[in-house]
């Protein structure tokens, strides 16, 4: 079974890096580049997990996460937040919105993302 991951990331470079790494592990990947596009894609595609950037145009990642968790159609989808903020305050905010993991964008981001998805049983 191939699992589907939705990546919501406004940086084209970052989205491509994540997409390549996830595909290398056998996952099907879709990308959305704004908060509203991410919401629509999650509702239409029903991915097995969402990788969500915090800093998004139009609607930030925290708001997207809250909206997905409040919607009965998407509330079951695990969300991993990926962000440039690596402090405890922002990590707690991400987890309080319903994310299951909060990963800083650093040199280990892709590795940590793969580990998080592995823990979900998607790899």
pLDDT in tens, the chain (123 residues): 899 999 999 999 999 999 999 999 999 999 999 999 999 999 999 999 999 999 999 999 999 999 999 999 999 999 999 988 777 787 788 889 999 999 988 878 888 999 999 999 998
Cα–Cα distances in Å, from 82 out to 5, 19, 107?
Answer: 14, 13, 12
Place of tokens 């990926």: 82
- Looking at residue 96, its pLDDT comes to 93
- Looking at residue 53, its pLDDT comes to 95
> pTM, whole model, 2 decimals?
0.93
- Looking at residue 93, its pLDDT comes to 85
- Looking at residue 16, its pLDDT comes to 95
Residue 6 DSSP SS3: strand
Question: What is the Cα–Cα distance from 27 to 21, expressed in whole angstroms?
Answer: 9
Cα–Cα distances in Å, from 5 out to 88, 89, 92?
Answer: 26, 27, 23
Contact in structure between 27 and 3 (CB atoms under 8 Å): yes
Domains, the chain, in order of start with CATH, read 4-119 (3.40.50.2300)
Put the strands of the sheet holding 101-104 in their side by side order: 28-32, 4-8, 49-53, 79-83, 101-104
């Amino acid at each position: 079974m191939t699992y589907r991951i939705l990546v919501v990331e406004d940086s084209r470079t970052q989205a491509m890096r994540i997409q390549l790494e996830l595909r290398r592990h056998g996952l099907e990947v879709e990308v959305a580049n704004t908060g509203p596009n991410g919401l629509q894609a999650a509702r239409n595609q029903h991915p097995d997990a969402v990788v969500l950037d915090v800093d998004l145009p139009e609607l930030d990642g925290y708001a997207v996460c809250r909206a997905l968790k409040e919607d009965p159609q998407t509330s079951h989808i695990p969300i991993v937040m990926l962000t440039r903020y690596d402090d405890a305050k922002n990590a707690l905010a991400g987890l309080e919105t319903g994310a299951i993991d909060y990963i800083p964008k650093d040199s280990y981001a892709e590795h940590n993302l793969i580990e998080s998805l592995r823990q979900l049983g998607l790899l």
